[in-house]
Chain A
């Protein structure tokens, strides 16, 4: 399997950006961006789809950490 060339890379990144924008606008509801999701999967290698999906989660998490303060998960409640 050959690696994507520069045009294929660009096509993949463009479809990714469109999908991410749609997800941002629609509060991350996958159903309203179904069309773009399938285009994204068609234009990018499967590994890249996985990578970019994880990357988006990471970027969102990072943004949350930077804008909101860190809230530790609530531990088990002590029974009184």
Chain B
């Protein structure tokens, strides 16, 4: 703003002050001084530039104006550069702070539905949609997994976005072994990976995202229902929790949210790379 005022002042002065500009490059402080100093000079110029020499003076005036504008826009440019640099630095610091307190700092090591051991490191660098549930789940888990699959399919349709990896981690390791998960995941998105493990491994994976799971009482068939957190988590490529979606969120809302997260994330990474 200071630089802008400086130029406005110069223009109002009709460029009479231009003569002094190169002598006193620090504009804001110098303005008042210039004003008072320029008066006698003006009369001086008038006296000298009378008659045939006036066109030459007008030309000079234009040159001066151009120089002022160049100089002023240079000042604005410099100020703008410093300002955006500072804003970006603050934003990076804030993101770094949030990163340090984000959920998902830990790791997991589980078996996928093909029986291979998968750790969290295998999924780093990818956007992940994560859901915790169990294969005997009556209605909520299949609904949410259908929704998650539709979201992934919709995002796949956008060529500008990287593919999103859907993950399903069981909260019922007692019944959900590798074959049970293999049967279950084939009803959903073809890229969906089901993960299971020992009760300790599964609990450890859930604890990292503050997932609650509590098996209910068993009936005479040994069947039971597990009460659990029914959120879809969005995990960033650095493995940290970024957002969550509850049952009230529609497929379209989730797609829009994930898309925004991916776009913003890319933008921030680029600005970091540029510095």
| Chain A residues at the B interface, C-beta cutoff of 8 Å | 1-6, 9, 13, 44-48, 50-52, 55
Contact = CB atoms under 8 A, between A and B. Distances in A.
B180 A1 contact: no
A9 B187 CA distance: 11
Interface string B137-148: 011001000000
Contacts of A4: 136
Interface stretch (B14-22, B24-32, B221-229): B221-229
Contact of B225 (A2, A5, A13, A51): A51
Contacts of B223: 1, 45-47
B219 A47 contact: yes
A52 B225 CA distance: 12
B247 interface: no
A46 B183 contact: no
Main secondary structure of the interface of B (DSSP, over half): loop
A15 B209 CA distance: 36
Given A45-B221, A46-B219, A51-B225, 16 more contacts: A1-B221, A1-B222, A1-B223, A3-B135, A3-B175, A3-B183, A3-B184, A4-B136, A6-B142, A6-B187, A45-B136, A47-B223, A47-B224, A50-B219, A52-B139, A55-B139
12 contacts: A1-B221, A2-B183, A3-B136, A3-B175, A3-B180, A4-B136, A5-B187, A6-B142, A47-B223, A47-B224, A48-B138, A52-B138
A53 to B, nearest CB: 11
User: Residue among A2, A47, A48 with the most chain B CB within 10 A?
Assistant: A47
Contact of B142 (A2, A9, A45, A51): A9
A13 B221 contact: no
A4 B138 CA distance: 9
A5 B183 contact: yes
Main secondary structure of the interface of A (DSSP, over half): helix
Contacts of A44: 138
Contacts of B225: 47, 51
B234 to A, nearest CB: 25
A55 B140 CA distance: 12
B219 A2 contact: no
Nearest to B218: A47
A3 B222 CA distance: 12
A1 B184 CA distance: 14
A55 B137 CA distance: 13
Contacts of A1: 175, 221-223
A51 B222 contact: no
- Which 5 residue pairs are nearest across A and B when measured between Cβ atoms? A3-B135, A6-B187, A47-B223, A48-B138, A3-B136
A2 B184 CA distance: 10
Contact of A51 (B138, B175, B187, B221): B138
B78 to A, nearest CB: 60
B135 A13 contact: no
User: Residue among B139, B180, B219 with the most chain A CB within 10 A?
Assistant: B139
A46 to B, nearest CB: 6
Contacts of B220: 46
Nearest to B222: A1
Contacts of A13: 139
A64 to B, nearest CB: 20
A26 to B, nearest CB: 23
